């Protein structure tokens, strides 16, 4: 069984923010074949199709690990893939890897603290540009994409969807070589 976790924050005020690209990709993956198996014990929206689970935690980003742990403990998937925004990657850059540090991402820190860091990651660059200071970073990740970014966002998400569709039947190292982009896909 494979658990795919899209990270983001619940609520309509966060729906179109940079921090919610994980939710955006999971929404793109979902289709009528998925059965909603959401339960309050999972602390998130959970969908199932065969051996594939898709999770959007309804905890806030900093507590995402609670939802991931609940689903992990119940279903015991042999593979976990986490989709998240990455401030340290330029907008449009996408990388795939297994394990590693949280890189300061609070959602990943929460997951790492509760289940460890040995899971696959789809890292979607949201850029940092000249942002410094904690409040500026918070405003950036919780801000909506600017007009130029909105134009490229659909292309980025569709690129990630294509990579994801191959990833679930393949190996993270193969997908990393094939789909990771150093200069961005735009």
Q: In 14-151, at which residue ranges do the beta strands (DSSP E only) sit?
A: 35-36, 44-49, 52-57, 79-86, 94-98, 120-125
Pairing assessment for the beta strands 44-49 and 52-57 based on DSSP bridges: antiparallel
| Maximal C-alpha separation, the chain | 44
The 10 Å Cβ neighbour count of residue 174 is 12
Q: In 3-state terms, what secondary structure has residue 76? A: coil
The 10 Å Cβ neighbour count of residue 157 is 19
Known active-site residue 140: no
CA 184 to CA 169: how far, in whole Å? Answer: 24
CA 67 to CA 82: how far, in whole Å? Answer: 12
Query: For 134, how many CA atoms within 13 A lie in the half-sphere containing its CB?
Result: 3
Catalytic residue among 19, 84, 105, 140: 19
Tokens of 95: 């990388």
Catalytic positions, please?
19
């Amino acid at each position: 069984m494979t658990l795919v976790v899209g990270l983001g924050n619940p609520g309509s005020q966060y729906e179109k923010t940079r921090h919610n690209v994980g939710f955006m990709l999971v929404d793109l993956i979902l289709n009528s074949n998925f059965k909603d198996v959401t339960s309050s014990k999972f602390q998130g929206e959970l969908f199932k199709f065969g051996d594939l689970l898709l999770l959007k935690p309804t905890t806030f980003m900093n507590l995402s690990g609670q939802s991931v742990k609940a689903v992990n403990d119940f279903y015991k998937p042999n593979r976990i893939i986490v989709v998240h925004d990455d401030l340290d990657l330029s907008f449009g850059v996408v990388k795939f890897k297994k394990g590693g540090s949280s890189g300061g991402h609070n959602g990943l820190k929460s997951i790492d603290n509760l289940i460890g860091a040995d899971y696959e990651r789809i890292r979607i660059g949201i850029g940092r540009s000249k942002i410094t200071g904690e409040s500026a970073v918070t405003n950036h990740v919780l801000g909506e994409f600017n007009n130029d970014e909105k134009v490229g966002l659909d292309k980025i998400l569709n690129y990630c969807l294509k990579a994801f569709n191959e990833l679930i039947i393949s190996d993270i190292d193969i997908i990393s070589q094939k789909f990771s982009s150093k200069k961005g896909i735009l």
